Structure 1
Amino acid sequence: MDTNNPVTASNTLSKVNPPKRLIALLVFLVLISVTGLIMKQGVLFCILTLFMVLAIIGKQKAGLIMLRVYTSLQLAIVSMLPLVLYDPENLASSFAIGSFNAQVPDWIIFSILILLAIVQVWIAFTRKVGQYFNREVNLNIMR
């Protein structure tokens, strides 16, 4: 194959498969966004997240920037939740899934949320994820 030919070189660059970590993160973001739309919780935020997923699928540089800012802000906000929501009288949260009811300590819930946010930041700043995006494309996500 001739790598000096710009047509052949661009075809080989465009056939780069997305990293499996990125695919898993995108599936997670889509599931969370669709769930938020169904439950009518943060509808605008869910729609913007779905637009970000579309930009990532399109290898837009804006998608990479949005993903990195999104995950970093999410980690910062989730890390501050224990301080903001600290209530010494309410040390356990109850939740129900179907007929299953449980009392779970708040520190477990916060730990899981912070761990999920750390994993998302790790995926967003991985070298393979950065190499997946086309650096020559401008920041227009609607292109």
Structure 2
Amino acid sequence: MTQTMQHPPLPKRLVLIMLGYAALSLWGLWSGTGVMLALLSILMLLAISIRHKAGLWLLRGYAITALAASTTLPYLLQQNPALYQQLQHSGLWPYLQHIPGWLSISVLIVLSMLQLWLVFTAKVSAFFQRNVNFNLMQ
């Protein structure tokens, strides 16, 4: 008698994160900024959709990097005036200039903490196959 292996369904929280990354990747490709990061994100989404362990590791790495970047952003903007000037010349500046700096940084930190909490939950971990190695061509 053969046993069929039942895979857990795609968690809703993972779908939400995947949609957010897909939107950011498409925006990055469309605007021409961060094209390599957008392509890497699309590859990560592909790995997640086929339940690859590499997708889980990339997703967790993105979440940790997002939290580190959002918490160090005020310090980096204070220490590097050129970075602040680049932000002022970006397309986001007309929207960000009317929002207090502490509020925008707080929203970034809260969103990255939420993302970090979501990718380390048991439902998301159970979705991925543990017996598959990092070879995406398999």
Normalised by the length of structure 1, the TM-score is 0.81
Q: Which residue of 2 aligns with 1:127?
A: 122
Q: Following superposition of structure 1 onto structure 2, how do residues 1-143 of structure 1 map, counting pairs within 5 Å?
A: 5-8=1-4, 10=5, 12-13=6-7, 16-86=8-78, 95-96=93-94, 103-143=98-138
Asked whether the equivalents of residues 22 and 129 of structure 1 are also in contact (C-alpha less than 8 Å), the reply is yes
SS state at 1:85 partner: helix
- Partners of 1:116 and 1:141 in 2: CA distance: 29
Structure 1 segments of 4 or more deviating over 3 A? 93-97
Note the residue ranges of structure 2 that are not aligned, 5 or more in a row: none
- Displacement of 1:6 in angstroms is 4.6
CA RMSD between the two structures? 2.1
Which letter does structure 1 place at the counterpart of 2:135? Answer: N
- Displacement of 1:105 in angstroms is 1.2
- Partners of 2:50 and 2:106 in 1: CA distance: 33
In structure 2, relative to structure 1, the CA distance for the partners of 1:21 and 1:38 (3 Å cut) is same
Asked whether the equivalents of residues 36 and 46 of structure 1 are also in contact (C-alpha less than 8 Å), the reply is yes
SS state at 1:134 partner: coil
Greater length-normalized contact order (CA 8 Å, ≥ 6 residues apart) = 2
Which letter does structure 1 place at the counterpart of 2:76? Answer: V
Note the residue ranges of structure 1 that are not aligned, 5 or more in a row: none
- Partners of 2:21 and 2:48 in 1: CA distance: 11
- Partners of 1:139 and 1:123 in 2: CA distance: 22
Asked whether the equivalents of residues 63 and 141 of structure 1 are also in contact (C-alpha less than 8 Å), the reply is no
The structure whose Rg is larger is: 1
Please identify which structure carries the higher strand content: 1
- Displacement of 1:106 in angstroms is 1.1
Asked whether the equivalents of residues 72 and 121 of structure 1 are also in contact (C-alpha less than 8 Å), the reply is yes
SS state at 1:103 partner: coil
- Partners of 2:63 and 2:103 in 1: CA distance: 21
Q: CA offsets per residue over residues 1-38 of structure 1, 9 Å max, x none? A: xxxx5542x2x23xx21110000000000001111111
